Amino acid sequence: MKQPTLLFLLFLFTITSFSQVEFSGKVIDHKGTPIEGANVYLEGTYDGTSTDKNGNYNFSSSETGTQTLVVSFISFETFYKTDIVNNLNNLNIKLREDVNTLDAVVINAGSFDAGNKARAVALKPLDIVTTASALGDAVGALQTLPGTSANDEDGRLFVRGGDANETQIFIDGIRVFNPFIPSANNIPTRGRFSPFLFKGLSFSTGGYSAEYGQALSSVLTFNTIDQPDQEKTELQFMSVGLGAGNTQIWGKNSFSINTSYINLAPYQLAFPDRNEWNEPFEGASGEMVYRYKPNEDGLIKLYGAFNYSNFDLIQDDINFENGFNFALENTNLYFNGSYKQRLGNRWSISGGMSYTNENTDINLEEDKVNDVENSAHFKVKATKGFSNRFKLSFGSEYFITNFREDFFQNTSNSNFDYTFNNNILGTFAEADIFFSKKLATKIGIRLENSEVTNQFTVSPRVSIAYKAGKYSQFSLAYGQFYQNPSSEFLKFTNSLSAENASHYIANYQYIKDRQQFRIEGYYKSYDDLVKFDGVVASPLSNYTNTGEGYAKGVDLFWRDGKNIKNLEYWVSYSFLDTERDYRNYPTKATPNFASKHNMSVVGKYWVNDWKTQLGISYRFATGRTYTNPNTTGFLNEKTKNYNSVSLNAAYLISQQKILYFSVNNVLGTQNVFGYNYRNQPNANGTFDRQALRPNADQFFFIGFFWSISDDNKSNQLNNL
């Protein structure tokens, strides 16, 4: 009896052991270190196991024929091998690191990102709207980052020795031609766009991607929200005006609208400034976004904005006894449509167009100017990922600008007409290559053909980044950048060619636990800058491209949200050494918009018991150059240093009601941006002067923001 049973059992055992196939092997990383805890299994079956601490695994399966062995482990690319089962034994498997993780190297020389998708975030979404000095203007918040200059009389972005025209702004990859609301001398302008339609932005202070052209110094790109989360109505009651917004969602569609009306008359009555206002600033604006998601992988966005502003004032001017009368009426219509679609096989395409119509009427004393600009931008871009480590993008775009100016000169009682077309065809291609999790590069080239300058330009761009340690990395970037001369010159001449800049950037960054330190050194050389003769650019001037210049410096940034509970702060410092010979400069000199040292300190402290966020920002800049006609020389003297401390507080009355208060330049520091000299010397033979001061030293703002939504949860913190 015994023997047959044994035999039978033995027989059975043999069968099972024959039908069971062994799978064993070892899993290691690129350095040969064993990986513990990797999931090893046959695809489509339950058969598998985890690797032990030596990276070894061993399991058996009754599967036969051709099978796929899968090895997956977090932060590594999943490994697949398909073969007949007998060939899947005794494997030595090397997993490749996933380069798509937060601790991988990032190509970021020159750029700052905001939003919650970005890996190295310099500004968080709330920062854009809660920085004390910014007054809810995204551009204002960026002025606390290194590489920018504090030019409060202008309000636009002056980046690394470049003037404001050298920065271009894009929404969803499409150019915005006139991004700023016009303002009078010494009154800072603001961006036209309310920050809450955007989910993130990237601000590059140099060395940017070949996708962007026509900017010598800097590009700022905004991304609008893809899909709003809920329907809501928002109301804003402010000391300077009113605002309202609404979002609707239905099916695959959503629609948001935002309107505001600003009137500074009551404010100026309460706090008179240095000007005499015939008509205080009045502005109305409306923005709307329609989004349609035709399928999971596609998105269409249509964005439209209308903006009207109007004012009339008399500014003190040493050369005009009764002051200088300046009046402006501006309408701006902007439309932007974009389409994104992910296709199969790691292809994706995006495209879009924008159209701007800007109409400005200006009265300068008795002279009248009417400017009409029609611009459009068309763009198509395709991206193909060949693997996680190699991505290629390429695209083409066309810019059209038609500008017309009618100038009525009172003294001669005559009309002048100036017009030009500035059309540019651009093509770009760029490769993103990861050699490993530690080393990556981006290589691109941009070709442009400009009709007005009758010129074909080639701009190579290269950047490379190396992760030296767990928390630190080095980056280098180089690029060539071309930009056509501004309309100020193109309206008078067609003999100019594009201005040119080269950037060389070296960057070191250390990020650990909500602390971030970066230092960036750069050298930028300018060539082919426009020069002209005469006091102002006029039809009679001679224009050449013989100007040149340089800017070099060091930018430092430190952000800390770790050491003190509920406190986030950052410190920026920029050293800038720049000289240029352009416009009608008789010699190379530091332009009057550049200060040698710039510093910003921004702090935000959340007081939980008060439900209030308190904010402070301090900005400092050393003096700016001006020409003193009483001495010989050009831009040879400097103003005193600039100082400004701003405070704000946002109090959450309830989830949906916020009270906001801010005051700019709380100490009332009397800042001077330059001097205006009398055209004629006085009896003693000296020229009298007048300090160029901000319109008002201080600015107060009080607002009440109320959101109404179904869930009673959302608020307008992101609006402030």
Partner 1 sequence: MKKIITLLVLVSAITISAQTKYEKGMMKAFELWGAKESDKAAQLFERISKAEQNEWLPSYYVATIEILGSFGLKDEAKLNSKLKKAQEFLDEAKSISPKNPEIMINQALLNTAYIAFDGQKYGMTLSVKNAAIYKEALELAPNNPRVILSKAEWDMGSAEFFGQSIEPYCKDVEKTVPLFEKEKLPKFYPRGGIERAKNILKKCKKEN
Smallest distance, Å, CB 647 to partner 1? Answer: 20
Positions touching partner 1 (CB under 8 A) are: 37, 39, 41, 43-48, 50, 70, 72, 74-75, 98, 101-103, 116, 121, 124-126, 199, 229-230, 513-514, 561, 568, 611, 652, 654-655, 710-711, 713-714, 717-718
Q: Residue 679, class by beta-carbon neighbours within 10 Å (0-12 exposed, 13-18 middle, 19+ buried)?
A: exposed
Return the sign of the alpha-carbon dihedral for residues 72, 73, 74, 80. Answer: negative
For partner 1, give the closer residue by CB, 307 or 716: 716
For partner 1, give the closer residue by CB, 367 or 513: 513
What are the start-end ranges of the E strands in 582-611? 597-607
Helix (H) or strand (E) holding 142, with range, is helix 138-142
**Nearer Cβ to partner 1, position 461 or 559?**
559
Q: How far is the CB of 437 from partner 1 (least distance, A)?
A: 11
Closer to partner 1 at the Cβ: 43 or 366? 43
The least CB distance from residue 439 to partner 1, in Å, is: 17
97 versus 287: smaller Cβ distance to partner 1? 97
Give 363's contacts (C-beta < 8 A, 6+ positions apart): 312, 325, 326, 327, 328, 369
Q: What letter does residue 669 receive in the DSSP assignment?
A: -
Lookup result for tokens 């032990």:
52
Which is closer to partner 1, CB of 343 or CB of 653? 653
Neighbours of 512 (CB within 10 A): 12
Q: How far is the CB of 277 from partner 1 (least distance, A)?
A: 38
CB of 37: closest distance to partner 1 in angstroms?
Answer: 6
Q: Which is nearer to partner 1, 686 or 712 (CB)?
A: 712
Our CB check for partner 1 shows the closer of 201 and 424 to be 201
- The residues with which 288 forms a beta bridge, in sequence order, are 257, 304
- CB of 666: closest distance to partner 1 in angstroms? 24
> Shortest approach of partner 1 to residue 692 CB, angstroms?
38
The helix (H) or strand (E) run that includes residue 14 is helix 2-19
Q: Quick one: 402 or 612, whose CB is closer to partner 1? A: 612
**Alpha-carbon torsion (31, 37, 41, 43), positive or negative:** negative
Taking CA atoms, 470 is separated from 104, 440, 466, 516, 654, in Å, by: 9, 15, 11, 13, 42
Q: Rounded to the nearest 10 degrees, how much is the dihedral formed by the CA atoms of 664, 667, 673, 675?
A: 130
For residue 210, what are the contacts with CB-CB under 8 A and spacing of at least 6? 428, 429, 430, 444, 445, 446, 459, 461
State in angstroms the smallest separation of the CB of 222 from partner 1. Answer: 15
Q: How far is the CB of 45 from partner 1 (least distance, A)?
A: 6
In DSSP notation, 275-315 reads SEEEEEEEEEEEEEEEEE-SSTTEEEEEEEEEEEEEEEEEE
Give me the least distance between CB of 229 and partner 1, in Å please.
4
- Closest contact distance (angstroms) between CB of 132 and partner 1 is 16
The backbone torsions φ and ψ at residue 9, rounded to the nearest 5 degrees and listed phi first, read: -60, -45
Closest CB to partner 1 among residues 70, 380? 70
The nearer residue to partner 1, 121 or 477, going by C-beta atoms, is 121
Closest CB to partner 1 among 121 and 496?
121
Residue type, 565: K
> What is the C-alpha to C-alpha distance for residues 449 and 380, in angstroms, rounded to an integer?
17
CB 496 within 8 A of CB 489: yes
3-state secondary structure of 57: strand
Nearest approach, Cβ of 171 to partner 1 (angstroms)?
A: 19
Least Cα distance to 482 among 138, 217, 190 occurs for 217
Give me 139's structure tokens.
């551009």
Asked whether the beta carbons of 342 and 319 are under 8 A apart, the reply is no
Shortest Cβ distance from residue 39 to partner 1 (Å)?
4
Cα separation, 201 vs 222, whole angstroms: 4
Indicate the residue among 459 and 707 with the shorter CB distance to partner 1.
707
1: CB partners within 8 A, 6+ apart: none
